[in-house]
Copies of this chain bind each other. A is one copy, B any other.
């Protein structure tokens, strides 16, 4: 047994896509059909400790202080296999994860989850990776995780190689360079009926609009990057809102059609449009679900929040700002005996 402990702990924030990742060209390698762009958030994160140990006969998982399910463990083991292969190692690991992205916040926890796991596991096993290298590894756990490696405004270049070696994220602006407010608006809704994984797949396979999405998402990326470089909030807002609507439009054309919106979704959409009529610059984006994320300038946060809280179907509004990228912690989540 080695006296050098193979242990590391990393913290990663989740992110929200402004230009959406929608459709895979390779299901196994998580290679996207299009590039995407996100803001890493400051409020919701995952902390993960990974320790590789010689005496382990299999990987073990503690998830929010309880043993992880067999299904979760299998996914995480497969992901660790990628890292073991990269490192030429065969040790099993203890994985301890604390997830601080409550479902009720309306953000995906897979982005912060796989970013933290990738960072902790690669460091514990002794791989010395560039952020880009780490981004490529995280991508293979969950596509959007590759963006959570960095803070602030982040671009995921889709790449074109079959092995995925050119498909990774990079930072456009760090989290301190431009402050914007992101409101997560939770609306009354039933159970989500179609997973985003299935939604993507069905859209790529059956929607007559998917080609129109691919034909224009490149322009959206260029326009959004330009707006971010120029700190042009109004221009950025128009681009991201149009991009989100296009993503949902592609699903309406799928067979059978996919409708993630609920009545509350449209209540928020129209209120945001009305606020703009009233002179307050604010824009919405919507992921593969009924909840709405609203962007505004920090000076208007209170006004926008109040307007949204006044809506019948709004249950909760949580406010975020741009946050930092992956960070290593010196304290570990647990001392293994």
Contact = CB atoms under 8 A, between A and B. Distances in A.
Given A212-B208, A212-B211, A263 B253 contact: no
Interface in A106-155: none
Counting contact residues on chain A (CB < 8 A from B), the size range is: 20 to 34
- Counted per complex, copies of this chain come to 2
B257 A266 contact: no
A322 interface: no
A259 B269 contact: yes
A264 interface: yes
A241 to B, nearest CB: 7
Nearest to A214: B208
A257 B270 contact: no
Given A209-B249, A213-B208, A246-B208, A266 B256 contact: no
A242 B208 CA distance: 12
A250 to B, nearest CB: 7
A262 interface: yes
A265 interface: yes
A303 interface: no
B265 A266 contact: yes
A266 B270 CA distance: 13
7 contacts: A208-B246, A209-B209, A209-B249, A211-B211, A245-B259, A249-B252, A263-B265
Interface of A: 190, 207-213, 215-216, 238, 241-242, 245-246, 248-250, 252-253, 255-257, 259, 261-267, 269-270, 313
Closest 10 A/B residue pairs (Cβ): A208-B212, A249-B252, A249-B249, A263-B263, A209-B209, A245-B252, A263-B267, A263-B266, A209-B212, A208-B216
Given A208-B213, A211-B211, 14 more contacts: A208-B209, A208-B246, A209-B250, A209-B253, A211-B212, A241-B257, A245-B253, A246-B252, A246-B253, A249-B249, A249-B252, A252-B252, A263-B263, A263-B270
